[in-house]
A and B are shown apart, each in its own frame.
Chain A
Amino acid sequence: MSTISNGYILNEVSEQFPDSVIDSLESYGMQSIEVKANDIVAILSFLKSHPQIQMNFLTDVCGIHYPDQIGKELGAVYHLHSFTNNVRLRLKCFVPAEKPEVPSITSVFEAANWQERETFDFYGIEFVGHPNLTRILNVDEMDYFPLRKEYPLEDQTRTDKDDSYFGR
């Protein structure tokens, strides 16, 4: 069982980076901390090298888009896992859509390389310092970021299309 509580991690992070922690929430057993984008590398390396917490494994990096949060529309979400304590942690940072720049964490976790490329591919978040920030799943010629909310999937209730040939 985990020997380190979620509250302890939150305390350590907010003591070390008092100006950086914006928000925190514990839900479904996982601590989620929102931090300033510019400090993400420092916070991750602090958590990784912390003698007790030892967040040694980067589980996942992904993007998220909230078009209604003015000034912090685009977000990068990091899932971390400490194998020694068996505790998971979610870090988030938000950046404005006009200048979506988040420092790359590839210097701390190499596994972030492709995951940041994927996030860039779908959300257009620029990971500053990434060794090769190019599209990975979509074609290189694409000039938009498809998982952003301004590109809705086709509405299933549309009536202006004639689908009778397809038996619908």
Chain B
Amino acid sequence: METIETSYDYKPEFTQLNLGPTHPATHGIFQNILTMDGEIIVNAEQTVGYIHRAFEKIAEKRPYYQVTPLTDRLNYCSSPINNMGWHMTVEKLLGVETPKRVDYMRIIIMEFARIADHLICNSVIGVDVGALTGFTYVFQWREKIYDIYEEICGARLTTNIGRIGGLERDFSPACLKKIKEFIAEFPAALTEFTNLLERNRIFMDRTIGAGPISVDRALAYGFTGPNLRAAGLDYDVRVMNPYCSYQDFDFVIPIGTQGDTYDRFMVRQQEMWESLKIVKQAFENLPEGKFFADVPDFFLPPKEEVYQNMEALIFHFKIVMGEADVPVGEVYHAVEGGNGELGYYLVSDGGRAAYRLHFRRPCFIYYQAYPEMIKGSTLSDAIVTMSSMNVIAGELDA
């Protein structure tokens, strides 16, 4: 009888797949070269730097107040947090004590920024699993937050909000009205969004177990912010090293257990509720007083005084020309940004500009864990993992 030779030697054939640099699901310009075995990801290699703009070099030439617009463009989904972090870094270097009213106003703005950041991130996770509805619903609430920014500083996305030593102006009656309306109306909208996704069977099936990371690996990779908390460690700069009077507020740090996409989503959902709680407390207890600290070398005098008063005119020119003296020293100041610990390492040699300024960008540091998180999973899981990590190209590349 004739035998037929059969071969069971399976040789996998890998395909190279370019995810990015411009791809609708990357939400930014960065590339992933995926090695695929069919639908399964075998390896991933990242290329970053497509929108690198040399902010650290530019900052070495600019007077301190001109660095604020550069920080806008790091995590542009929550620019005010970056701006405030920079102001606080310079204030730390100068040893400025800000009045309580400034702290509370800043906290209102920063927590609004966090809500806007998380709203975008979470609704985009929905978009990436095919649920566009939630995104279109919550986008108008981000617009309402931007309206509040606009009342405060005149800008919406790249805000350049606040000044070294305080804020450029006090909250106007229109602004206070908008904040009040937002606090009153937002819970209903967020509940609607919650109902749409949080216990949605399709959404849960798509996100639970996608892109998990253990807490040890997350720590080794330098995770901070919601992504670390989703893995199960309650590190939050606002609580660990309170800045800007965060110690006055009552809020909870939500944590997850699995570190997967669903946990990251849930941590951000809960953080929005907590941020709203902080905004409410700050708004209700907004102290009376000045909206700027006494730093005439850095805080621009009111325009009326510049026209009438000799000293005000001198300070105005000194500040605009960037001729104020700063102490020699090194400071590191960290704030809890939308994505984690946003740090500023500032070295001053006493000159008009920073001798060295380094931004600790949470995105850049935790994005290196991405290949490990998606290896062995499918391409569709890689997409939701990326959007749940909230990688913002501006912060990635500085």
Contact string against A for B residues 309-348, beta-carbon threshold 8 Å, 1 for contact and 0 otherwise: 0000000000000000000011110100000010101010
Determine which of B60, B61, B358, B364 lies in contact with A156 in the assembled complex, contact meaning CB atoms within 8 Å. Answer: B61
Interface of A is mostly: mixed
Closest chain A residue to B61 by CB distance? Answer: A153
Q: What is the distance, in angstroms, from A157's C-beta to the closest C-beta of chain B?
A: 11
Contact string against B for A residues 127-168, beta-carbon threshold 8 Å, 1 for contact and 0 otherwise: 000000000111100000011000101001000000000000
B132 contacts the other chain (CB 8 A): no
CB atoms of B222 and A109 under 8 A apart: yes
Closest chain A residue to B398 by CB distance? Answer: A137
CB atoms of A32 and B330 under 8 A apart: yes
| B169 contacts across to A, CB distance below 8 A | none
Q: What is the distance, in angstroms, from B232's C-beta to the closest C-beta of chain A?
A: 13
Q: How far is the CA of A44 from the CA of B220 in the complex (A)?
A: 14
Please count how many residues in chain A sit with their CB below 8 Å of the partner chain's CB atoms: 35
Q: How far is the CA of A85 from the CA of B52 in the complex (A)?
A: 36
A40 contacts the other chain (CB 8 A): no
Contact string against A for B residues 35-53, beta-carbon threshold 8 Å, 1 for contact and 0 otherwise: 0000000000000110010
- Considering residues A90, A109, A153, A156, which has the most beta carbons from chain B within 10 angstroms of its beta carbon? A153
Q: What is the distance, in angstroms, from B63's C-beta to the closest C-beta of chain A?
A: 11
B57 contacts the other chain (CB 8 A): yes
CB atoms of A90 and B220 under 8 A apart: no
Residues of A within 8 A of B (CB): 27-28, 30, 32, 56-60, 62, 64-65, 77, 79, 83, 86, 88, 90, 109-111, 113-115, 118, 122, 136-139, 146-147, 151, 153, 156
Residues of B within 8 A of A (CB): 48-49, 52, 54, 56-58, 60-61, 92-93, 219-222, 233, 235, 240-241, 329-332, 334, 341, 343, 345, 347, 356, 358, 360, 364-365, 367-368, 397-398
